[in-house]
Structure formats: structure tokens, C-alpha cells
Amino acid sequence: MAGRADPPEGGAAGAPGAGDEEYRSIVFDDTFVNAARLQEFSAEQRAVENAVAVRDREPPAEPSLSRAVPKQGLALAMIILLAFAAAIYLGANNPYQSPRSLAAGRPAGSTVALVPDGEVPGQIDVEAIFGSGPVREFGVGSGGLELPDPKSTTHFSREQVLTALTLAKEYLTASALNPDVLVGGSLNEVRQLLGIEQQRQFDAVMDDEAGRSWATDWLVRFDRERVEMADPHVRVSGAFTFTEAAEDVLEIAGHHVFVYALRPTDSMGASASLFGVRREVRFQFGKEELRDRNVVLRQVDTLAGPMACEADPAVAFEPLLAGESAPQTVVAGIDPLVPDADRPVLCAALMPGQLNLS
């Protein structure tokens, strides 16, 4: 049974619904009616005397801000505001801010030349010269640079203390035990352990622009035109200590004696003699230096001999070798009232007999 439908040729003109085709898409729903500017009165309202059929409607009141903004929007805005405030607070109080680096000037230094009384003893047999006296108890090479048990401090963890001790050992190994450095060879192993600021100062010193800083403050070095190593293995004795110098500064101090077997250059048959260097080296580390694995060299105090009082140890040590002796003269005097005078060369007497600097 067929349903209602217009005939295929279309509805007849004037037929019911024939003129409504163009208005079929217009739907008068509740939203449209409620938004109308005119409102028709009810039959009861129109029955009142002098009543009209329709009236103008008051425009709807503007919604308040609290009603215009959805509750979800207010909550989201509040969350964003709180997050922004928290970011500002944490940025100002962040415990993980990038640490500041330490100011790294030239290291303070002092050097005392130890002058022998008489000729310097020597032997052909290097093992024999090392095997007598207190030197036979020393360690060999970096094995003599023993580290203490690292412990945490107030502001530095155990791992940070261990890193600082390790870097201090690496610096002493490079600057006082490396045969290439000892006889004026490559300096890269020493230089690369310094920060950028001290690298510039180190380069200036090595280019003979020392000022009040000496090359022998940064490292142990001999004049290779005159001296060579009779044995590349240096004997070492001493210890490291660590403490906090300030809230953000860890200080490592190395107290060591280094003993070198030396002889004249190109003299394989010449007797070897011992040359001792006692150094107290102070390093400092901040959080940035530990992160970048750099040392800050603060102070180096050195006793070195046998050496003549007239020797100039600024660029390199000038050892007295086997059979040599020091002239018994005094270097230029020191005026304590002139604070800006050139750094003096200090002298002391080396104990007679076998080398003993411990």
C-alpha cells in the first residue's frame, strides 16, 4: 500500500503544501521563538480592556562574568595561574641552579732552595741509590699518591669528595711524575686539568711572562739541556687531606715528597744523584669545577735541593748533580718594607749525608 507522496510531475498549483517547499528548511524551534522580539499575549490577557495582541519583549540581561565563563574555564585559569606562580618561586629558589665557578687567580707560591754542605753524593747503580736510606720506603710513581677514604662533608657528597681527590692526584701525577713534563716536554696533561682562566695564566707563565708566578709553582721541571732522568720512576711519599674551606668550596691539600734520580745529559756512564722536592699543594673545588673536572690551584710551597742558593728556580729547577757543590755565598738581600719587590729566592741548609726531606 503506497504512502502519501507528491505525484512525479509535482503537486498541483494551489494544492495544500504546494507553496511551502521553499520554507521547508526553516524550523521554528524553541530557541527561535524565545529569541523573538515580540511576544503574543494569551487569550486571557487579550480579554483585558485596552489590551493589545502583542508586546515588545525586554532584551535579555547580559550574563555576569561568573555566568559567562564556564566553571571549567575558571578552574583551568586558576591552575595555570598557580603553575606560573610556582615556576617563578622555584626559579628563584632552585637548589639545582647552575653552580658558579670559583675565581681562579695565579696560585700563591714560595720556593726554598736547599743548599748542601759539601759535594753531592752519587752512585752508578740507580737501584742502589734508591735502595738506601728512607727513600727505599717510598712508593713508585702514582702508586705513592695514595688517597684517603673519602667521606661526605656538610655540603659535599662522598662522590664529590672522591672526584676532588682523584683530580688532585691526576694533577700531581701530570705535574710532578710525568717524565715528559719533568724534562721540558709536552704540557698538555697539566694544562687540560685547569679551568679556562688558569689555562690563560699557565700559558703566560710558560711563555716566560711569569711576573710573580713561577713555572715551578705549576709543575716540577728541569733544564733538559743540562739534566736527564737516570730513572723515569719517581719515588713518592705523602698524603692528601680534605676539608671545606667555605660552604661552597672543597679544599684538597697534598703534602708529598718527590725524589728524582738525575744525571748529566748524554752521560750514560755518569753517577746518578738524588734530587728531592717537598711540595704542599692546595687545590680548591666548587660544584662547577667538579662537574667540569677542573682543578683550581691555590697555593704551592716548595722545598727543593740539593741546589745552589744562587740558582733561579723560576723557570726550572737547577739541581746540583753528583760530585758538585754549592758556592757558599748569599743571594741578594730581602727588604721586608717593600711589599712589591720581586719574589725572593729563599735558601736553607740541606741536612748532610743522604737525602732526607721527609
Tally of CA atoms within 13 A in the half-sphere of 195 that contains its CB: 23
Residues 58 and 118 in one domain: no
Dihedral over alpha carbons 76, 79, 83, 89 (to 10 degrees): 140
Residues 76 and 168 in one domain: no
Contacts of 65 (CB under 8 A, 6+ apart): none
Pick from 74-83, 192-201, 220-229: least confident: 74-83
3-state secondary structure of 223: coil
- Of 59, 90, 121, the residue at which a domain comes to its end is 90
Give the model confidence (pLDDT) of 217-229 as tens digits.
999 999 888 999 9
- Of 90, 119, 145, the residue at which a domain comes to its end is 90
Residues 77 and 141 in one domain: no
Residues 167 and 292 in one domain: yes
Beta bridge partners of residue 317, listed in sequence order: 222
Query: Is 80 exceeded by the pLDDT of residue 171?
Result: yes
- Of 38, 60, 90, the residue at which a domain comes to its end is 90
**Residue 47: domain span:** 26-90
Q: How far is CA 232 from the centre of its chain?
A: 33
Which residue in 358, 347, 356, 329 sits closest to 121, CA to CA? 356
Query: Is 90 exceeded by the pLDDT of residue 138?
Result: yes
User: Does a structural domain hold residue 13?
Assistant: no
Residues 34 and 172 in one domain: no
User: Does a structural domain hold residue 225?
Assistant: yes
Give the model confidence (pLDDT) of 29-53 as tens digits.
666 666 666 666 676 666 766 666 6
Residues 82 and 227 in one domain: no
Contact call for residues 282 and 299 (beta carbons, < 8 A): yes
| Rounded Cα gap, residues 276 and 304, in angstroms | 6
Contacts of 77 (CB under 8 A, 6+ apart): none
More reliable by pLDDT, 268 or 82: 82
3-state secondary structure of 274: strand
Residues 45 and 149 in one domain: no
Residues 133 and 204 in one domain: yes
User: Does a structural domain hold residue 103?
Assistant: no
Averaged pLDDT, 80-92 = 71
Q: What is the pTM of this model?
A: 0.70
Mean pLDDT of the chain: 81
DSSP readout, 93-140? S-TTSPPPPPP--PPEEEEEEEE-SSPPP-BS-HHHHHTSGGGGGSEE
| Rounded Cα gap, residues 68 and 71, in angstroms | 9
User: Does a structural domain hold residue 37?
Assistant: yes
User: Does a structural domain hold residue 170?
Assistant: yes
Residues 258 and 138 in one domain: yes
What letter would DSSP give residue 207? T
Residues 80 and 121 in one domain: no
- Give the pLDDT of residue 93: 55
- Give the pLDDT of residue 96: 47
Residues 85 and 133 in one domain: no
The amino acid at 18: A
Give the model confidence (pLDDT) of 109-123 as tens digits.
999 999 998 899 998
User: Does a structural domain hold residue 199?
Assistant: yes
Q: Which helix (H) or strand (E) holds 189?
A: helix 188-191
User: Does a structural domain hold residue 320?
Assistant: yes
- Give the pLDDT of residue 224: 87
Query: Is 60 exceeded by the pLDDT of residue 128?
Result: yes
User: Does a structural domain hold residue 244?
Assistant: yes
Give the E-state strand segments of the chain in sequence order.
38-40, 54-56, 108-115, 139-140, 227-229, 235-246, 249-264, 273-285, 296-305, 346-349
Averaged pLDDT, 261-283 = 91
Residues 72 and 157 in one domain: no
Domain count, the chain: 2
**Cell of residue 189, nine digits:** 696533561
What letter would DSSP give residue 267? -
